[in-house]
């Protein structure tokens, strides 16, 4: 499907993105919840542009996705990005919320689930995020599982992520990814990454070492009509990860603070990320930025290989 078939009152593909898609050029979709709810102000805005620059440096076109004034935008100009980064009226929007925020003419920062949906609609095949959502700790009581997982079950897109966020129940998330037919490959690793940590402690069954191998798998998936997502798990190098002892201490404190404050549902992930950024003396923020920049660059290399 191309951009031309979309309802222009509700979905607008930026010219640069539409041109690239029209000519079969490489495009990388980027989510916006990380900008509005995952990274602290005021640096979130410049980091968002650095993420886009990381895609450009490899020769692909970035398409940051968000809802601004009720229009789903595939590619943000400076004004739209400023709104997402700075406005207090920006909601964290998952796939189920998309139509409502569009109908109400609101602003929404899209999660992995909502971004994957819109990217696929626009015809974008590759998407970069920091760390995927998944099954939260204590989910047997709370039933809190990110809609990222069920969306990736039914969206044919390639997502580059540093595994899943280490605030989650990684083992349960891996089981759900298997059940939901989401394919997982480790990029240059046999260990599933744990976001801030290079190794979550769980293995990954398939390893790739080259973007061309990912492009080959994407091509085979198309031929076989596989309608679910491919997750490319890209770890931080071990010497760039958050110190595991610091990580475990901050996480334990954060989980206790979340429970004490009664944090629930969609507020859980932003709360825990913000706790990390405050309590790790900037270490988690440093790692989070390095993760998303590396994932954007790898996604761009994959998009270039897939377009070639
Ligand atoms: N990765 C990051 N920072 C983030 C997120 C991912 O480095 O803020 C966001 C993504 O948008 C993801 C969301 O979809 O966290 C998951 O939220 P939840 O657990 O409520 O589904
Ligand atoms: Mn949730």
Find the CATH number of the domain harbouring 86: 3.40.1790.10
Whether 1 maps to a domain, the answer reads no
Whether 1 shows a pLDDT value over 50: the answer reads no
Whether 5 maps to a domain, the answer reads no
**Nearest alpha carbon, ligand 1 atom 10:** 111
Q: Please give the pLDDT value at position 195.
A: 97
Q: Ligand 1 pocket, 34 CB below 6 A?
A: yes
Q: How far is the CA of 273 from the centre of ligand 1 (A)?
A: 9
Q: How far is the CA of 25 from the centre of ligand 2 (A)?
A: 35
Q: How far is the CA of 34 from the centre of ligand 1 (A)?
A: 6
For β-strands 90-93 and 107-110, DSSP reports them as parallel
Whether 3 shows a pLDDT value over 50: the answer reads no
Q: What digits encode the pLDDT tens for the residues 203-215?
A: 999 999 999 999 9
Neighbouring-strand partners of residue 65: 74
Q: Please give the pLDDT value at position 229.
A: 98
Whether 267 maps to a domain, the answer reads yes
Whether 6 maps to a domain, the answer reads no
Q: How far is the CA of 159 from the centre of ligand 1 (A)?
A: 13
Q: Ligand 1 pocket, 112 CB below 6 A?
A: yes
Instruction: Give the whole-angstrom CA distance, residue 298 versus residue 160.
Output: 7
**Nearest alpha carbon, ligand 1 atom 18:** 146
**Nearest alpha carbon, ligand 1 atom 11:** 111
- Beta-carbon count within 10 A of 252 CB: 10
What's the pTM value of the predicted model, to 2 decimals? Answer: 0.97
- Ligand 2 is an ion; residues with CB less than 5 A from it: 144
Q: Please give the pLDDT value at position 5.
A: 82
Q: Ligand 1 pocket, 273 CB below 6 A?
A: yes
**Nearest alpha carbon, ligand 1 atom 2:** 130
Quick check: is 283 catalytic? Answer: no
Q: What digits encode the pLDDT tens for the residues 97-156?
A: 999 999 999 999 999 999 999 999 999 999 999 999 999 999 999 999 999 999 999 999
Ligand nearest to the CA of 159: 1
- Residues 291 and 162 sit within 8 Å (Cβ to Cβ): yes
Instruction: Give the whole-angstrom CA distance, residue 297 versus residue 81.
Output: 20
Mean pLDDT over 43-72 rounds to 98
Q: How far is the CA of 202 from the centre of ligand 1 (A)?
A: 21
Q: Please give the pLDDT value at position 203.
A: 97
Q: Ligand 1 pocket, 33 CB below 6 A?
A: yes
Residues 31, 52, 145, 283: which is the catalytic one? Answer: 31
Q: Please give the pLDDT value at position 308.
A: 83
Q: Please give the pLDDT value at position 256.
A: 95
Number of domains, the chain: 1
- Residues 31 and 110 sit within 8 Å (Cβ to Cβ): yes
Whether 237 shows a pLDDT value over 80: the answer reads yes
Residues 52, 92, 145, 165: which is the catalytic one? Answer: 165
Q: How far is the CA of 223 from the centre of ligand 1 (A)?
A: 31
Owning domain of residue 287:
11-307
Quick check: is 175 catalytic? Answer: no
Instruction: Give the whole-angstrom CA distance, residue 237 versus residue 278.
Output: 23
Spatial CA neighbour of 125 closest among 32, 61, 176, 50: 61
Ligand nearest to the CA of 264: 2
Whether 4 shows a pLDDT value over 60: the answer reads no
Whether 170 shows a pLDDT value over 90: the answer reads yes
- Residues 60 and 21 sit within 8 Å (Cβ to Cβ): no
Q: What digits encode the pLDDT tens for the residues 248-272?
A: 999 999 999 999 999 999 999 999 9
Whether 4 maps to a domain, the answer reads no
Average pLDDT over the chain reads 96
Q: Ligand 1 pocket, 35 CB below 6 A?
A: no
């Amino acid at each position: 499907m191309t951009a031309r078939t979309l309802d222009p009152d509700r979905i607008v593909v930026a010219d640069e993105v539409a041109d690239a898609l029209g000519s079969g050029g490489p495009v990388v979709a980027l989510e916006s919840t990380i900008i509005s709810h995952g990274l602290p102000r005021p640096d979130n805005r410049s980091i968002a542009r650095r993420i886009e620059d990381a895609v450009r440096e490899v020769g692909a076109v970035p398409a940051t996705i968000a809802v601004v004034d009720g229009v789903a935008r595939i590619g943000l100009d400076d004004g739209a990005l400023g709104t997402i980064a700075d406005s207090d009226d920006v909601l964290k929007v998952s796939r189920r919320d998309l139509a409502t925020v569009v109908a109400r003419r609101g602003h929404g920062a899209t999660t992995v689930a909502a971004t994957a949906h819109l990217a696929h609609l626009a015809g974008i095949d590759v998407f970069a995020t920091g760390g995927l959502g998944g099954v939260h700790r204590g989910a047997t009581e709370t039933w809190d599982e990110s809609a990222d997982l069920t969306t990736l079950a039914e969206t044919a897109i390639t997502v580059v992520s540093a595994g899943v966020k280490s605030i989650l129940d990684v083992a349960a998330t891996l089981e759900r990814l298997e059940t939901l037919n989401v394919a997982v490959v480790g990029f240059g690793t046999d260990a599933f990454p744990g976001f801030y940590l290079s190794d979550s402690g769980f293995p990954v069954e398939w390893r790739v070492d080259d973007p061309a191998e990912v492009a080959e798998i994407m091509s085979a998936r198309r031929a076989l009509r596989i309608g679910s997502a491919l997750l490319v798990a890209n770890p931080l190098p071990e010497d760039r990860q958050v110190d595991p002892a610091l990580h475990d201490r901050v996480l334990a404190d954060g989980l206790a603070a979340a429970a004490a404050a009664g944090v629930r549902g969609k507020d859980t992930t932003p709360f825990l990320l913000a706790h990390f950024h405050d309590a790790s003396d900037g270490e988690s923020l440093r790692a989070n930025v390095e993760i998303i920049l590396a994932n954007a660059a790898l996604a761009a290399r994959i998009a270039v290989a897939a377009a070639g």
